[in-house]
Structure 1
Amino acid sequence: MNAPARKLRSNFPRGSYLWAVRNAQWQAMGIPEEDCEKPKIAVVNSSSELAACYSHLDQVAKVVKEAIRAAGGVPFEIRTAAPSDFVTGAGARGAYMLAARDLVTNDIEAAVEGAQLDGMVCLTSCDKTVPGQLMAAARLNVPTILVPCGYQASGEYKGQHVDIEEVFIHSMHAQIGSTPVDEVIGMSRCAIRSPGVCSGLGTANTMHIVCEALGMALPGSAPVAALSDKMFTDARAAGARIVQMVWDDLKPRDILQPGAFANAVKAVLSIGGSLNAVKHLQAVATEAQNGVDVYGLFERLGPETPVLAGVRPIGEHLIEEFEAAGGCRALMKQLQPLLDNGVRTVTGGSVADNLTGYQPANAEVIRPIARPVAPRPAIVLLRGSLAPEGALIKPGIVERKVRRFSGPAICFDTSDAAVAALRDKQVPSGSVLVHRGAGACGGPAMGGGASRVVFAIDGAGLGDEVAMLTDGHLSGLVCKGIVVAEVAPEAALGGPLALVQDGDTITIDLDTRRVDLEVAPQVLEQRRAAWTKPSPQFDRGWLQIYRRNVGPLAQGAVLTRDTAE
């Protein structure tokens, strides 16, 4: 380790007010006085007993803190909100899920910036904590490493593989009447066999891979099985590395450069990852104030980035197979000719340095560029008269027979109403189901259960016969049918989606990358004049604060900066 070469921001003159009161607090906690001069590292822990995603993080925190002490630092464990889609999605129509992402960011700011700590090791787990931690790193710009804390073991039911995706899908099938309730109960008892995040390539595993592709996690650390020897080895390495990063003053904004975001976008595209990664990456770029247009990157890079791996739910490989093949590091090696190899990473070296001499373990699971698993992009950004600011669709890797869908709209303002109509067979074949009022402002926080509607369509046997359009977002596990999500501007802000009426023709074209409303301009002008903004949801508490301050998807739906001063 290099000798300390700079003053730490956490240190104050000996005997001064701030030194004295902190020393008094820490003496009472058993921290020696000489440790007041060492790098003080936040171990950001979202441990919670509410969900399996977080139930193991205290074990990881212990290992990280030991490594920090051994490397000459002083760890301070801090806690944040711990949102889990399948648990905290129960209240407020799911609005707490995305809103909690920004709460995580602010939890970290209050603790780390308030205490003037020198660096952070963030224990990443479920969907929203990962971007929340990345956003905090970009905002505070103190040396930071993210540690992927692993995926859960899935199970078997009646001799077949079962994980949380099957439970989600079939629970909605049960509401439609196409799956017996007892089957869903049986699956739920077997689907999760250990702590950790969803075992498919949903939002959590996608964002763990994003951390490494951005250069914010150590090479080879994503994805990883929760509580495995490898996970603990990586955690120890991160605890040791962060201390030297503090002395080197290697900050997130040194890493989160435009080239790093382009690399991360290519990584997501090459695995057909979660659509949610788009807005989360944009939120990180917004906090980093680097001017990167992530939506523009997905639009531009999508057609030229090959799909190199097919992991559930877009393919047949399990996440365990993807990890065994080398995970993100192998993916980056296969993508290397397309990457910005010069950007820095938390190792202190470049992407090229981290990949030198490395070879993927299985070129069938993670293929080379010359032999992709799919000829077309697995994530497509659409524009058109219904989505002038963009919309997202995940066609998957199976070649679609239908790449252009045109049909009459049938409109719903809640997911409950849409599911009820599907259950009652009131959604005709050939129609476009419009689910609106579920955007960042209207939901708020994109609560509204759009994913439930997708799986209900599938359960009704209409997956190839009914398209769907929503301003809400989808679970990272969703990869079914022709479903256009995150339509912007959203309906609650008066976007074109708000003007759609039953019977209007909507056309979705994957080849031209357009989504259009086939209604005469003068008719839309009349509807615009008659339109009134819906009454806002929630008038107190955190959701009110979020609703009043959230920005557009083009900025990542982050809380906006006050520009009045």
Structure 2
Amino acid sequence: MRDLRSNLPPTSALGIARRAHWRSLGIPAEDLTRPKVAIVNTSSDLAACYAHLDDIVPVLKHELRARGVIPFEIRTTAPSDFVTSAGRAGRYILPSRDLIVDDIEAAVEGAKLDAMICLSSCDKTTPGHLMAAGRLDIPTVVIPCGYQHSGLAAGREADVEEVFLLASKAAVTGGPTDELEELADDAILSPGVCAGLATANSMHIIAEVLGMAVPGAAPVRAGSERMWDSVRRSAAALVDALEHDRRPRTLITAGSIRNAVRTMLAVGGSINTIKHLQAIGIEARVEIDVWEEFRVLGRQTPLLASVRPNGPALTEQFEDAGGAATVLRELLPLLDGDQLSVTGRTLAEVCAQARPADGEIIRPLDRPFGTDPAITVLRGSLAPGGAVAKRPVPDPGPHRFTGPARVFSNREEAIAGITSGRLREGDVAVIRGIGVSGAPGMGMTSAFIFALHARGLQHSVALVTDGQFSGLVNQGVTVGEVSPEAAAGGPLGKVRDGDVIDIDLRTGALDLLVDPEELAERPAFQPPADRDTGGGFLDQYEQLVQPLSCGAVLCARKDAGRCERETAAAPAGADIPILKEAP
């Protein structure tokens, strides 16, 4: 094994103090010079997502010790979108991603450990682990720890996402709630992340595409033999990466990020993957505009899978059909096959071992489910930095919506606008001031969208917001994460009631039809004075967070140049070649 940074001079003050601590933990003296690896256990008793991670740790420790490595378990914060979103309207969720990164840096860099292996679970843990890997650039393997056995997969009526959707609609309409508790009791039948192809499973797949997880790792049933096989192979891969000094920045490149973008478009992954991939690129020091990659490649990438919530297939069926490995095999002609995996093999070599598409759950390139992008990135005079819409597979439309704006400062006010009649058919609801710095932490607008669905307005009222919405939302014209956000001086902050907004999902355009000179004369947006930030972490986040175009990473100095990106209004996309309609 090469020289290790963890091996301090043995009789130095710190070296001798470390010996005292580690000998007291039962580590033999002759092992003290071996590689020292962090097992990053993002665990918590608060949610099912994490309930099995503590069981993985002893197995992983045994596997690593058998390969001559000293493992140290460390812990980080562990957010769950369904549990830790109760406080301050869910605004802790996105900031917790960056808190995970800082947790890892403090423990791993502070102790000068040689490598890390990360147990990834719920939505923000995988991007946090990948961002930390890019920042620290020490040999790292990410283990996707699997999805839960859901009520739907067991032949029952609902999974957790369906229960959440039903409860949200009932809250808006005042409909019956008698069966909700019974449905909830049967929705989650094992540990693991939500079973659909939402953010957690999407990010697990991305870890594999980036080469940071072993091939065939995602998606995977939590607690299954395939998961345990992945755990054992991950231990072996980490030791091999240590021996060959194979670091994350050799794996996380512009080419591998572009491969991840293609894959998300091919499976209709979560819209949250855009900002997470951009943040991963920033931390790994990769020059790439992920928003633009999604915008361009979205119209050139066929849809090879139709998995819930985009389509009818269950994640179990997707896994059984070959999962990410099979999708990559089919997509390979459109990918950079020279990108490396943590195993040392290229993507092309890995794909050669994957099974071909079955033609039903996963389709080949020449017979896709569709050619309309499931994830549409828009740019234009209202979103110079980009915005995003999620669409079903296949996409029945509508694809264009033009109407007068009705401006709201939060989702509750917008929901009230439906009941009061202020918001009518043909309007574009604008919910602004809830972006990463405006909220701060990004406000959720899903409840408003569910209210539109409950009132039958999902196709006759559009939404434009600088906040975010759930991956369950993929119908109607709903546009989120508008950048620059209102609080950062974006055009969204100057929209007035009655201004005409034009949304074109075909060309990827989001425009405000107001004379630029008139718009320039309007006063700048002012955030509400009564925002509840608690005077703690969210206030710190507001001061440090960078724009969505930079992945919403944290940076101590706004003028430091590491994160800031000025994005001029890009053409709508008429210059982008479009795939022919699928047969």
Which category describes the TM-score, using the shorter chain as reference length? over 0.9
Residues in 1 aligned to 2:106 and 2:266: alpha-carbon distance in whole angstroms: 36
Partner of 1:440: 436
Following the alignment from structure 2 to structure 1, what is the Cα–Cα distance between the partners of residues 527 and 191?
Answer: 43
In structure 2, do the counterparts of structure 1 residues 156 and 224 end up closer, same or farther at CA, with 3 Å as the change threshold? closer
In the alignment, what sits opposite 2:492? Answer: 497
Question: Any residues of structure 2 matched to 1:179-218 within 5 Å, and which?
Answer: 179-218=175-214
Other-structure match for 2:480: 485
Write the mapping of 1:74-473 to structure 2, written as runs, cut at 5 A: 74-156=70-152, 160-177=156-173, 179-360=175-356, 362-424=358-420, 426-446=422-442, 448-473=443-468
Q: Answer with 372-381 or 418-427: which moved more.
A: 418-427
Matched, 1:560 2:555: yes
Q: How many residues align?
A: 559
Give the Cα separation in 2 of the matches to 1:221 and 1:363. Answer: 21
Q: Which residue of 1 aligns with 2:51?
A: 55
Secondary structure of the equivalent of 2:48?
coil
- Deviations, residues 284-306 of structure 1 (Å, cap 9, x unaligned): 00001121211121112111111
Q: 1:406 to 1:221 in 2, by over 3 A?
A: same
Equivalence for 2:503: 508
TM superposition shift of 1:401: 3.8
State the alpha-carbon separation in 2 of the partners of residues 431 and 513 from structure 1.
Answer: 20
Cα root mean square deviation, aligned: 1.8
Pair 1:159–1:260, CA change in 2 (3 A) = closer
2:471 partner amino acid: G
Q: Is the 8 A contact 1:147 1:234 kept in 2?
A: yes
The 2-side partners of 1:154 and 1:92 are apart by: 29
Cα distance in structure 2, aligned partners of 1:227 and 1:564: 44
Cα distance, 1:22–1:556 mapped onto 2, change above 3 Å: same
Q: C-alpha distance in 2, partners of 1:203/1:564?
A: 30
Flag structure 1 segments of 5+ consecutive residues without an equivalent: none
The answer to whether the Cα contact below 8 Å between 1:176 and 1:422 also exists between their aligned partners in 2 is no
Report the CA distance between 1:159 and its aligned residue: 6.7
Deviations 1:111-157 (A, max 9, x none): 00000001010000000011011000000000000000000111159
Deviation at 1:185, TM superposition (A): 2.5
AA at the equivalent of 1:213: V
Contact residue 93 and residue 449 of structure 1 kept, 8 A: yes
Q: What are the superposed Cα offsets for residues 91-121 of structure 1, whole Å, 9 maximum, x if unpaired? A: 1121110000000000000000000001010
Task: Looking at secondary structure, tell me which structure has more helix per residue.
Answer: 1
Partner letter of residue 216 of structure 1? M
Contact 1:492 1:498 in 2 (8 A): yes
Distance 2:367 2:99 in 1: 42
Distance 1:30 1:425, change over 3 A: farther
In structure 1, distance between residues paired with 2:363 and 2:50: 32
SS in 2 for 1:85: coil
Aligned AA for 1:241?
A
For residues 257-297 of structure 1, give each alpha carbon's deviation from its aligned partner in whole angstroms, at most 9, with x where no partner exists: 11101110000000111000000000000001121211121
| Deviation string, structure 1 residues 16-70 (Cα, Å, up to 9, x no partner) | 2222111110111111112211111100001100111111110112221111111
| Cα gap change, 1:512 to 1:223, in 2 (>3 Å) | same
The aligned residue for residue 545 of structure 1 is: 540
Report the Cα offset of residue 371 of structure 1: 0.5
Residue 574 (structure 2) aligns with: none
Distance 1:269 1:74 in 2: 40
Looking at structure 1, the residues matched to 357 and 268 of structure 2 have their Cα atoms a distance apart, in angstroms, of 20
Q: Write the letter of the residue equivalent to 1:560.
A: C
Secondary structure in 1 matching 2:330: helix
User: What SS does the aligned partner of 2:435 have?
Assistant: coil
Aligned to 2:581: none
User: In the TM superposition, what is the alpha-carbon distance from 1:423 to its structure 2 partner?
Assistant: 4.5
Q: Is the 8 A contact 1:178 1:460 kept in 2?
A: no
Query: Counterpart of 2:92 in 1: which secondary structure?
Result: helix
SS of residue paired to 1:377: coil
Given that 1:436 and 1:491 are in contact with CA atoms closer than 8 Å, whether structure 2 keeps it comes out as: yes
String of CA shifts for 1:395-424, please: whole Å, max 9, x gaps: 222332421111122221111222233355
SS across alignment from 1:187: helix
Q: Percent identity?
A: 49
SS at structure 2 position matched to 1:162? coil
Which residue of 2 is the match for residue 24 of structure 1?
A: 20
Mean CA deviation greater in 455-464 or 181-190: 181-190
- TM-score, structure 2 as length reference: 0.93
Shift of 1:318: 0.3
Separation in 1, partners of 2:492, 2:84: 28
- Asked whether the equivalents of residues 275 and 474 of structure 1 are also in contact (C-alpha less than 8 Å), the reply is no
Corresponding letter in the other structure for 1:326 = G
Picking from 9, 17, 21, the partner of 1:13 is 9
The Cα offsets for residues 71-102 of structure 1, whole Å up to 9 and x where unpaired, read as 11011000000011111111112111000000
1:84 is paired with a residue whose SS is coil
Work out the CA distance in 1 between the residues paired with 2:175 and 2:235.
47
SS of the residue corresponding to residue 418 of structure 2 reads: helix
Q: Output the CA distance in 1 between the equivalents of 2:357 and 2:424.
A: 48
Shift of 1:539: 6.2
Within 5 A, what are the aligned runs for 1:521-536?
A: 521-528=516-523, 531-532=525-526, 534-535=528-529
TM value normalised by structure 1: 0.96
SS of corresponding position for 1:195:
coil
Distance, in Å, in 2 between the alignment partners of 1:170 and 1:273 is 22
Counterpart of 1:239 in structure 2: which amino acid?
Answer: A
* 1:357 Cα deviation after fit: 3.8
Structure 2 unaligned spans of 5+: 562-583
Instruction: Give the aligned residue type for 1:445.
Output: G
| Partner SS for 2:521 | helix
Q: Secondary structure at the match of 2:179?
A: helix
Q: Which amino acid aligns with 2:106?
A: A
Residues in 2 aligned to 1:533 and 1:203: alpha-carbon distance in whole angstroms: 29
Find the residue that maps to 2:143 and give its secondary structure. Answer: strand
- Matched to 2:499, the amino acid is D
AA aligned opposite 2:58: K
Report the 3-state secondary structure (helix = DSSP H, G, I; strand = E; otherwise coil) of the residue aligned with 1:86: coil
Amino acid corresponding to residue 310 of structure 1 in structure 2: S
Residues 159, 265 of structure 1: CA spacing in aligned structure 2 closer, same or farther, 3 A cutoff?
closer
CA distance in 1, matches of 2:337, 2:560: 40
Deviation at 1:362, TM superposition (A): 2.2
